[in-house]
C-alpha cells in the first residue's frame, strides 16, 4: 500500500513483519508488486483503517453467526450437501472447511475473490459456475451444478450478511 508503507516480500513458510502507522482513517489500496504466478494481476490488497470504536464494532459483527434466512433453505441444503463444506465455513451451519475463505458474512463484502470482481448476484453466479472465468488459476473447482441449483445457491449466499 504505497500510501502507508514500502514493499515487504512475503515468502512462503517464512513469517515476515512490517510496521505501518496510518494517520487517517479510510481505505488504502495496494497491489502485489512481484510476479508470483498466474493470479498475480488479481491480488488487490485493501487496508481499512478504522477508529478503535469502529474496529471493535466490526469485530463484534464478524463474530456473530450470519443471519440465516429460513426462506432460502433449498440453497442452504445444496451448499451443505455439495463439496462446498470441505473448503468453506459458514458459522451456524455444518460447513467447517478452511481451504477457501469463510463465507459467514459473504454478502457484506464489496468484491469476490480478492477483488477479482464486484460482489453482485451475476458475478457470484458466474463464480460458482466456473471460477476460472473470473480469475484464471483460481483454486476453487467448477462444481458442475445445474442452473436451478446455482440460482438457489446464489439466493442463499445473498442472505449471508
Contact residues toward ligand HEC (CB under 6 A) are 79, 82-84, 86-88, 99-101, 103, 106, 109, 112-114, 124, 127-128, 135, 138-141, 143, 153, 157
Nearest to 128 by CA among 161, 92, 88, 97: 88
Q: How far apart are the first and last CA of the chain?
A: 28
32: cell is 502485489
Q: Shortest gap between Cβ of 35 and Cu ion (angstroms)?
A: 6
Nearer to Cu ion, 13 or 146 (CB): 13
Residue 36 interacts with Cu ion (CB under 5 A): yes or no: yes
154 binds, among ligand HEC, Cu ion, none (CB under 5 to 8 A by kind): none
Q: Closest residue to Cu ion, Cβ-based?
A: 32
32 binds, among Cu ion, ligand HEC, none (CB under 5 to 8 A by kind): Cu ion
DSSP letter for 82, please. S
Nearer to ligand HEC, 66 or 127 (CB): 127
Nearer to ligand HEC, 1 or 138 (CB): 138
H helix or E strand, kind and range, residue 132: helix 131-134
Give the number of other CB atoms < 10 A from CB of residue 127: 24
117 binds, among Cu ion, ligand HEC, none (CB under 5 to 8 A by kind): none
Q: How far is CA 84 from CA 45, 72, 95, 102, in A?
A: 25, 17, 8, 11
Residue 40 interacts with Cu ion (CB under 5 A): yes or no: yes
* 93-97 LR contacts (CB < 8 Å, sep 24+): 93/68
Residue 44 interacts with Cu ion (CB under 5 A): yes or no: no
Amino acid at each position: 500500500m504505497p500510501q502507508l508503507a514500502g514493499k515487504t516480500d512475503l515468502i512462503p513458510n517464512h513469517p515476515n513483519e512490517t510496521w505501518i502507522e496510518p494517520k487517517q482513517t479510510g481505505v488504502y489500496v495496494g497491489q502485489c508488486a512481484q510476479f508470483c504466478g498466474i493470479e498475480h494481476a488479481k491480488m488487490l490488497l485493501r487496508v481499512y483503517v478504522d477508529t478503535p470504536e469502529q474496529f471493535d464494532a466490526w469485530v463484534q459483527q464478524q463474530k456473530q453467526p450470519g443471519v440465516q434466512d429460513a426462506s432460502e433453505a433449498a440453497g442452504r441444503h445444496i451448499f451443505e450437501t455439495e463439496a462446498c463444506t470441505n473448503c468453506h465455513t459458514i458459522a451456524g451451519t455444518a460447513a467447517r472447511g478452511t481451504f477457501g475463505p469463510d463465507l459467514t458474512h459473504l454478502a457484506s463484502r464489496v468484491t469476490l475473490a480478492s477483488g477479482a470482481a464486484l460482489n453482485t448476484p451475476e458475478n457470484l453466479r458466474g463464480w460458482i459456475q466456473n471460477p476460472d472465468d473470473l480469475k484464471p488459476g483460481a483454486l476453487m473447482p467448477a462444481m458442475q451444478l445445474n442452473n436451478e441449483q446455482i440460482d438457489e445457491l446464489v439466493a442463499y449466499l445473498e442472505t449471508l450478511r
